[in-house]
Chains A and B, each alone.
Chain A
Amino acid sequence: MNLLSVRNLRVTFPTDHGPAEVVRGLNLDLGRERLGIVGESGSGKSMTGRAIMGLVPAPGRVTADQLTFDGQDLRDLSEDARRNLRGPAMSMVLQDPKFSLNPVIRIGDQIEEAMAVHGGLGKGARRRRMLDALISVRITDPERVARLYPHEVSGGMGQRVMIAMMVVMEPALMIADEPTSALDVSVRGQVLDILADLVSRRGMGLILISHDLNMVARWCDRILVMYRGEIVEELAAGGLYDAQHPYTRGLVASLPTIDDTRDRLPVLDRSAL
């Protein structure tokens, strides 16, 4: 059975010129696998993630014909019931650790927060799981890092702390919204390794949102290409260069490669779409 099943998902925002649809009839099925969503800025990737989490910002409205997670219909759940799912069942890693960690709270306390929110664990057990989560994202001295404030760690370590924060409850579904875009290339590999490890070890479903075509192609089991709020193409891993849709082909064509002989990089021709 699918972990997550979405049919005809729409997210609309009211504007002065009538409602603007940012996600338009998206269909998605996710098992316990790594699914990549790629697309340009503003194509609705992040909004899709937030709609699944139930956290679309204020004036936005979410509608769907089907939105089931692990057999439950998310549309029927109350706000409280959805809140209880967030953390233990599904979570989302945000883009930039600089802005995603509260500057005045120690890292350890922030990771323990999810467990405190959902209760059930004593102080000692929470602390042990927090330290385990830090170890699982390859932080070698968790005792020290737990006592630090977010400004005292580097970007890469901050991003790993974010991931620790989101996996500490061992959710079944994790959405990673550009988890590596704030990191440099060497750290990026480490973070992806950690995510891959968690997916295979804990049997999670993972949605990786990114605009880095090569990274997603190399790393995900399946790729969805989004453009203007719709999925224009679905590709198997490694099938990026066999893409049929003109938008995907345009994107692939405008990637520079190291042995490029072209004088100019082609620009996506939007009139052809």
Chain B
Amino acid sequence: MITHEWLLSDDPETRTQARLGVMYRLARDLARNPLAMVGLAIILALLLIAAFAPWLAPYSPVDGALANRLQPPSITHWMGTDELGRDILSRVIYGARITLMIVLLVVVISAPLGLLIGTVAGYYGGWVDRVLMGLTDIFLSLPRLVLALAFVAALGPGIENAVIAIAIAAWPVYARIARAEVLTFRNAEFLDAIRMQGASKARIIAFHVMPLCMASTIVRVTLDMAGIILTAAGLGFLGLGAQPPLPEWGAMISRGRSFILDQWWVATMPGFAIVIVSLGFCLFGDGLRDVLDPKQRSRG
């Protein structure tokens, strides 16, 4: 029987009980932070909306009736319609899928890349470190959006290229963090001990150095997600991300810009979506960082 007392017991009887207790404490600490809970709710809502978009959306995101164009928000069209008569609510709902896909793909590409470059630079040191970190500094010295813009311009517009461009602009931060982390333990005895067993450098980096850098990278990635969403929306706005008729939020704002004074809802509704979702990731990331920081962990 799992009870509150059983989970919080100071002398757990089994390993499972101890582990569940730690998880329960983490979850409870997170739940005590109302802002983090708001963030979590937003992220969960985003996930659900993206997963069930075809069932939730009242109309098609791409087909519209021109006779119906630029209708203000009403009972039939909760967020109004755009200049081609498409239902904006349906487009925002389908847009959640695109946003989520971009964020996940960017993270999957850039975090391992940054981790790899950072750990190699930190572990090898010497000229390898200087070359790799010089490269990282060049990337870091340019604003992320400008850099992503330059890459999309070179690769050609489109959602895949936008993902690649954002990933190329996002990895340097992870490389810096991983390198700094590696420097703190590159001369540690446990790495000597592994060397004594004959492990090669590649093996040491992959199996012994990278796991140690994982925690800081994961926290950093959750905090960066809001930035990735904004960059993706920025590229969409400039017409370099998702191409019409895909319902990408940034591109929707861009289309609505022409009628912002008379038909405000066309640009404003996807704007709300962007603000709410990036706020959600920020709040949840902050809460997670506070909870996972052992110095601030509460007891009892």
Contact = CB atoms under 8 A, between A and B. Distances in A.
Query: Is B one of A's binding partners?
Result: yes
Nearest to A98: B189
A169 B196 CA distance: 12
Nearest to A84: B198
Contact of B198 (A83, A100, A101, A104): A83
B208 interface: yes
Contacts, number: 69
B189 A100 contact: yes
Q: How many residues of A sit at the interface, in one of the four size bands?
A: 20 to 34
Contacts of B207: 105, 113
B197 A87 contact: yes
Interface in A70-95: 83-88, 91-92, 94-95
Nearest to B196: A92
B193 A100 contact: yes
Interface SS majority for chain B: helix
A273 interface: no
Given A87-B197, A113-B199, A94 B189 contact: yes
Q: Choose among A53, A96, A103, A117 the residue with the greatest number of B CB atoms under 10 Å from its CB.
A: A117
Q: How many residues of B sit at the interface, in one of the four size bands?
A: 20 to 34
Interface SS majority for chain A: mixed
Interface in B185-204: 187-200, 203
Interface string A218-249: 00000000000000000000000000000000
B193 A88 contact: no
Given A57-B187, A102-B208, A165 B193 contact: yes
A166 interface: yes
Contacts of A101: 190, 193
Contact of B211 (A57, A95, A104, A166): A104
A117 B203 CA distance: 8
A94 B191 CA distance: 11
A162 B189 CA distance: 11
Nearest to A150: B190
A169 B197 contact: yes
Given A95-B189, A96-B189, A100-B189, A55 B195 contact: yes
A23 B192 CA distance: 20
B188 A99 contact: yes
A165 B199 CA distance: 13
Given A103-B212, A104-B212, A105-B211, A55 B199 contact: no
Interface string A34-70: 0000000000000000000101010000000000000
6 nearest CB pairs, A to B: A86-B198, A87-B198, A114-B197, A99-B189, A87-B197, A100-B189
Interface of B: 187-200, 203, 207-208, 211-212, 214
